Amino acid sequence: MRIHSLLFFVLIFAYNQSISAQDPRLALQYFQDGEFEKAANLYQSLYQKSPDSDAYLSYLILSLEGANKSAEAEALIKKEINRKPKDANLYLQYGKMLYKKGELKAAEKQFKTCIDLLPADVIMIQKAANSFLEIPNYDLAIACYEKGQKLLKTQFSFTYNLADLYRRKGETNTMLKYYVEGLDDGSIHVVTLQNVLVSYLEPIQFGDLQAMLYERLETKPDHIPYIEMLQWTFIQSKDFANALRQSKAMDRNLNEGGGRVMQIANIAANEGDYKTAIDGYTYVRNLGPAGGNYLEAYRQILINRRKVIVEKKNYSMDDLVLLEKDYQSFKEEYGGSRLAAQMLMEYAELEARYLNRVDKAIAILTEVVANPVVDARTKAQAKIDLADYYLIDGERWESTLLYSQVDKDFMEDQMGELARYKNARLSYFGGDFEWAQEQFDILKRATSRLISNDAIDMSVFILDHLNQDSTGEALSDYAAAELALFQNRFDSALVILDSMSVWYPENSLKDDIFYLQAQIYNRLQQTDKAITKYEYILEKHKEEIRADNSLFELAKIYDYQLDNKVKAQELYEKLFIEFSGSTLAVDARQRFRILRGDKVQ
């Protein structure tokens, strides 16, 4: 009998416990289903059993409001405030209740009381701030976080939250102040901050951030996050020289072996700041062969010094000779390496096209072609260059032989297309216009857009002028002038072109003559004369086939040689708008977007 009684009481107790456990879940289910009356009854019971539960009180108030019993809800919260006058959470809930009713001033009074009574509790501070953000009231959220900073001191930081709030308010300087503080206390990581600022900070505002970072560095000169952030701001402002200076400082402090400096040098090189790039690569090379970036830095020094010559046309004979010595040193150290082949081709180009030492260029490339460790594709490119230099030297037979070899070995490849284009151009130089024009016609369908565009230009050019002059005499002279330019015989080319203006005064080659003269003057570094010729074509022959070419060449002069990016951008835009059908329109649009600051894939 006693056993049965005991079992009965155990079952009753278990049943009551089960009902008790189900009450919170059932109440929440009623609340979520919108059955606020039922939810309020259950939460009322739960709250009476656990009067210190913030969760039960909150749900009870929300359920009462949902059941249109706002008066009961307000009476309840006032009663609780009287019972616990130092509880910040109660004032927060009362303020939210008043805000819903539209009593904004009364609500703000409760919110401010909540902030005054905030405890040193991260969760409560975040809860209050999030509630203010929902309204939204940024000033109250800021006051909440600032109070939290004072309460928690070094235990927890709200610098990121404060910076984000000032960003939303549009108060940039205060936003930056908190972001920099976050770098100081470690609550904000450099990469995180960079990702935020790249989206929200205007270029003109980077100076303000730099000033703050410099001020901080006076007291903490070795604080890496400051230096990294400062370096990043210089990159965003395209001030690569100062970015490089910061990266060198970090490299020395952290003994990084030049990796960070290489990154900055690469960025500078891609942006056309070759002087800074060369400075960075030289720093890395000077660290010595033991460094993992030594060979690449050595290569990049030569590549970028060559770009100064080829793109900017800004060099003296002393510059050429100095670069030649560096190429020779590189050849002596790495000449037999497979990786050196590209550099040796550029070395040969310097000798043939700028120092007029064609024999030396031929000797260099002959070694590359004969080197068994060089891959077939690189050898093919070397053969094409070698054929060009034989042509400069007047050895036409050697040229066509090499072009044909590459054509045969790479028949279905862009390399073969390039060789065929060069062979067709060789026939054009020799006056065999019909055969050359047929080959250019075929090459219009080349897989390489560059080769296809050039082939289209040549085909149209030949056909246009042969239709107007069936004898081809004027075209033969013009081709001879082009060959003279190719062979670096600039004076001879200019004499032929000047004579053509007298011999063929009514010929349709007028704009072509001006165009070729402009190219020669540009090669001779007589930039003003080149600009005058290109502008004359655009003014007097804007309907002729050289107009788009002239506009593109003019844009490149302002872009790369004169470093007038605004003027260059204007000319590129003019090209792809006014000459939308030009084969150069795509390149012009892409360069325009780069200069405008777009992210181009």
Write the single-letter amino acid at 17: Q
Residue 11 lies in a domain: no
The candidate with the shortest Cα–Cα distance to 137, out of 169, 101, 159, 178, is 169
Residue 562 lies in a domain: yes
* Domain housing 504: 473-596
Average pLDDT of adjacent 10-residue blocks, the chain of 601 residues: 46 41 74 78 81 76 76 82 89 89 92 94 93 92 94 85 92 92 89 89 87 92 91 92 93 90 95 94 93 90 91 88 94 89 95 96 96 96 97 96 97 95 96 94 92 92 82 90 96 95 84 95 95 95 91 95 94 95 92 83 54
**How many folded domains does the chain comprise?**
1
Structure tokens at 493: 């080319």
Which spans in 67-205 are helix H?
70-83, 88-100, 104-116, 122-134, 138-152, 159-169, 172-185, 190-200
pLDDT, residue 31, reads 77
Secondary structure of 464-483 as H, E, C letters = HHHHHCCCCHHHHHHHHHHH
Residue 540 lies in a domain: yes
pLDDT, residue 18, reads 42
Residue 381 lies in a domain: no
What CATH number did the domain enclosing 490 receive?
Answer: 1.25.40.10
Q: Where are the beta strands (DSSP E) in 207-286?
A: none
Structure tokens at 475: 């075209």
Full DSSP string of 22-89: HHHHHHHHHHHTT-HHHHHHHHHHHHHH-TT-HHHHHHHHHHHHHTT-HHHHHHHHHHHHHH-TT-HH
The candidate with the shortest Cα–Cα distance to 115, out of 138, 148, 82, 85, is 148
How far is residue 297 from each of residues 281, 285, 374, measured CA to CA in Å?
Answer: 5, 6, 21
Residue pair 479/428 in contact (Cβ under 8 Å)? The answer is yes
Residue 410 lies in a domain: no
Task: Give dist(CA 547, CA 464) in Å, integer.
Answer: 15
Task: Give dist(CA 385, CA 381) in Å, integer.
Answer: 6
How does 92-112 read in b/e, with b if 16+ C-beta sit within 10 Å?
A: bbbbbbbbeeeeeeebbebbe
Task: Give dist(CA 220, CA 226) in Å, integer.
Answer: 9
How far is residue 449 from each of residues 428, 583, 600, measured CA to CA in Å?
Answer: 21, 9, 18
Task: Give dist(CA 233, CA 243) in Å, integer.
Answer: 8
Question: What are φ and ψ of residue 137, in 5° steps?
Answer: -135, 95
Residue 502 lies in a domain: yes
Torsion of CA 585, 586, 591, 592, to 10 degrees: 60
Residue pair 345/382 in contact (Cβ under 8 Å)? The answer is yes
Task: Give dist(CA 476, CA 493) in Å, integer.
Answer: 13
Length of the chain: 601
pLDDT, residue 600, reads 56
What pTM was computed for the model?
0.74
Q: Which residues contact 279 (CB under 8 A, 6 or more apart)?
A: 241, 244, 265
Residue 160 lies in a domain: no
Task: Give dist(CA 302, CA 326) in Å, integer.
Answer: 7
Residue 338 DSSP code: G
| CA-based torsion, 429, 435, 438, 443: positive or negative | negative
Residue 535 lies in a domain: yes
Write the single-letter amino acid at 20: S
Quick check: helix, strand or coil at residue 394?
Answer: coil
pLDDT, residue 290, reads 83
CA angle 568, 569, 572 (to 5 degrees): 85
